[in-house]
Homo-oligomer: A and B are copies of this chain.
Amino acid sequence: MNVEALIRAFESTRARSRAMCVGLSAEDYGLQAEPFVSPPKWHLAHTSWFFETFLLKPFATDYTSVDERYEVLFNSYYNGVGEQFPRPRRGLLSRPSVADILTYRAQVDDAMLQLLHTMDSANVEQIAERTRLGIEHECQHQELLYTDIKYSFAFNPLYPAFAEPPQTAAAAHADELAFDHYDGGLETIGYRGDAFCFDNELPAHKQWIEPFALAQRLVTNREYGQFVAEGGYQSPEFWLADGWTTVQTQAWEAPLYWREVNGVAMEFTLYGLQPRHPEAPVTHVSGYEADAYARWAGYRLPTEAEWEYAANQANAVPTGIEQGYLHPAPAQNGQALDQLYGACWQWTSSAYSPYPGFNPASGAIGEYNGKFMSNQWVLRGGSCVSVGDHLRSSYRNFFYPPDRWQFSGIRLAHSGALNGDAHDQ
């Protein structure tokens, strides 16, 4: 383990959280439109709480918290740590102020750096491991900060822009959808390297995979628009039963942020309300919508094993927020698997379950992943607002199938000759 590299990663990650928020007003920092999103300032505080709780309190000598009440206020869901302030009310915490929370962050940063620079050999491995987990944890919250503030802004009819849109050239028409074919067989799935991974990516294990084909790019707004136009949201035959119930009770008629304004196809983005790019991937669709679209199109969603197996062969370097844009861009080409990372998370048909032999960490930190292994679906890849070097082919993201506020999109699959590439959409 390289302590210097760890410290650099800590510093850059912590700095990134603050830099991300540069465009927010004090009033924006407190927004929470629904219980499942959190205010920006809560993300800033909770990520500090994580270091304080799992590193400073157990390992730092003479550490005293800025405010002991933060232990409850900024605990997300760790029953092993203690009580939690009720999630639906995070938006009511006008105090501590943003300034108070930045002070809290600074104090945690100072204490963490001191700990990292002075840790004794007895605990060095555990401290390093947990610090690395805290860094990865903060990367995850950075992505959530983007998707949460977008969700809260979307209720404001003034359509606030989180950032100024970049200058982008008009994209060419996307290539016709093409598929790569894979033979499958008895393959190994799960993380096999010696760097960091989450516990849910372990253990690596054998899995039998039948032959399959995977789309070279994500489904576009243009393609998805055809599904909408042809009555996809009015046709129960394409939907899972629970999905159809959701369509009706939520009155869904299109992806979360699509808007029609005076007959023009628009989309709410982190750049405010923008024209909807027909060649950009459709995003902010639920698992139910992804599944229904696939069925309508004569295909299916991939399993997570298929996705990982194909991604391992593609061997792409993950990239995300480093690309510098806050909305997914059109595919570049059709020669190989494109948009594995950096555009939209890709819904799989796999329920989020433990791998055979899964073994969560002991103590409160074991609540990180394992207890969420029911009712959710796995998404693979990464989005334009993911931190790129935090991703890898074995990374398992998970959300409930009705969830739409992430940058989630659709990559189609099929089982070889059964459906055929020549399918007429």
Contact = CB atoms under 8 A, between A and B. Distances in A.
A158 B401 contact: no
A397 interface: no
A374 B236 contact: no
Interface residues of A, number: 67
Nearest to A291: B374
Given A155-B89, A210-B357, A353-B349, A94 B28 contact: yes
Nearest to A306: B356
Interface stretch (A12-20, A165-173, A239-247, A314-322): A239-247
A351 B349 contact: no
Identify which of A158, A206, A303, A353 gathers the most chain B CB atoms within 10 Å of its CB: A158
A232 interface: no
Interface string A353-379: 110110100000001000111110100
A207 interface: yes
A423 interface: no
Identify which of A240, A359, A371 gathers the most chain B CB atoms within 10 Å of its CB: A371
A94 B25 contact: yes
Contacts of A91: 91
A130 interface: no
A25 B29 CA distance: 12
A298 interface: no
A240 B373 contact: yes
A80 interface: yes
Contact of A237 (B79, B160, B206, B303): B79
Nearest to A305: B356
A60 interface: no
Interface in A215-274: 236-237, 239-244
A26 interface: yes
Nearest to A350: B353
Given A27-B26, A353-B349, A240 B79 contact: no
A77 interface: yes
Q: Across the A-B interface, give the 7 residue pairs with the lowest CB-CB distance, nearest first.
A: A351-B351, A26-B26, A79-B236, A27-B94, A241-B371, A206-B208, A28-B94
